[in-house]
Amino acid sequence: MSRSQRLLDLIQILRRHRFPVTGAQLAADLNISVRTLYRDIGTLQEQGADIQGEPGLGYILRPGFMLPPLMFSEDEIQALVLGSRWVAKRTDGQLSAAAKNALAKIAAVLPEDLRLSLESSTLLVGPPDNALTGETFLPQIRQAIRGERKLEIVYRSLKNEESRRIIWPFALGYFDLVHVLVAWCESRQGFRHFRTDCIISLTDAEARYPKRRQRLLKEWRDQEKIAPQ
């Protein structure tokens, strides 16, 4: 992890705490030494972050650092909260944490009245009917989509037929009971949909696919007659 990323992570961790958090806890969360943490806090303070506290007592970040003030309507705030809560409950741990972090960043720079509206939203997301499976590979799949990289998968269909495929992943669908990977399949020479809970193994094929993912998405939508979202 780069130092810049570590400083951003430190700011985000502090934003999630309303009360002082100890240097030891912060260092553990970042997997760094306490000595390095103190240097990072000093760097952020020099850059204008209002971090208050001292060794032995804990640290707290006053709101308003790094992001300009944001204004949302009540409906927009409810949409943000509801969407973030859905992601937090219906996706893998990595994306769930990202949703919580994004909401914390927004809350940190909202005017007080809007922040209270965000924090007291009564729109709730219930638990899924069944525990989702197939989450293990989701971070790798999203990374491959972002990097436009081929994947080699071993897939077992619902008919219990096993096959090995080289695919070009470009979209990932989230449903209440299943996640579906949309990709171009080299062996079938066409678009295919793969349930992530049916993927037995997944590895990077160490090659970029020849088309841009936006192009694949458009061709797939045209074929399936799906309107852009």
pLDDT tens-place string over residues 128-178: 665 555 578 899 999 999 999 999 999 999 889 999 999 999 999 988 788
Burial of 61-85, coded b for 16+ CB within 10 Å and e otherwise, reads: beeebeeeeeebeeeebbebbeebb
- SS3 (DSSP) at 104: helix
CATH number at residue 167: 2.30.30
| Residue 24 forms part of a structural domain | yes
> CB neighbours (10 Å) of residue 214?
10
% of residues, the chain, pLDDT over 70: 89
Q: What is the pLDDT of residue 214?
A: 94
Conformational region of residue 206, where left means phi above 0, alpha means psi within -120 to 50, and beta covers everything else? left
How remote is the C-alpha of 48 from its chain's centroid? 27
Regarding whether 202 and 153 lie in a shared domain, the answer is yes
Residue that is last in its domain, among 38, 61, 84:
61
- pLDDT exceeds 60 at position 123: yes
| Residue 42 forms part of a structural domain | yes
| Residue 55 forms part of a structural domain | yes
Regarding whether 142 and 220 lie in a shared domain, the answer is yes
| Residue 229 forms part of a structural domain | no
| Residue 145 forms part of a structural domain | yes
What are the CB-based long-range contacts (under 8 Å, 24+) for 185-191? 187/163, 191/219, 191/220, 191/223, 191/224
Regarding whether 8 and 52 lie in a shared domain, the answer is yes
| Residues spanned by the domain of 11 | 3-61
Regarding whether 50 and 7 lie in a shared domain, the answer is yes
Regarding whether 215 and 159 lie in a shared domain, the answer is yes
Q: Are 176 and 90 in contact (CB under 8 A)?
A: yes
- pLDDT exceeds 50 at position 35: yes
CA distance 85 to 108: 17
How remote is the C-alpha of 51 from its chain's centroid? 26
Q: What is the pLDDT of residue 22?
A: 92
| Residue 67 forms part of a structural domain | no
Q: Are 191 and 183 in contact (CB under 8 A)?
A: yes
pTM as predicted? 0.62
- Of 141, 109, 101, whose CA–CA distance to 5 is shortest? 101
- Of 200, 196, 199, 197, whose CA–CA distance to 172 is shortest? 196
Q: Into how many domains does the chain fold?
A: 3
| Residue 101 forms part of a structural domain | yes
Q: What is the pLDDT of residues 65-120, one digit of tens each?
A: 654 445 566 788 888 888 988 888 888 888 888 888 888 888 877 767 677 878 88
Q: What is the pLDDT of residues 40-57, one digit of tens each?
A: 999 888 877 888 987 778
CATH number at residue 41: 1.10.10.10
Regarding whether 37 and 86 lie in a shared domain, the answer is no
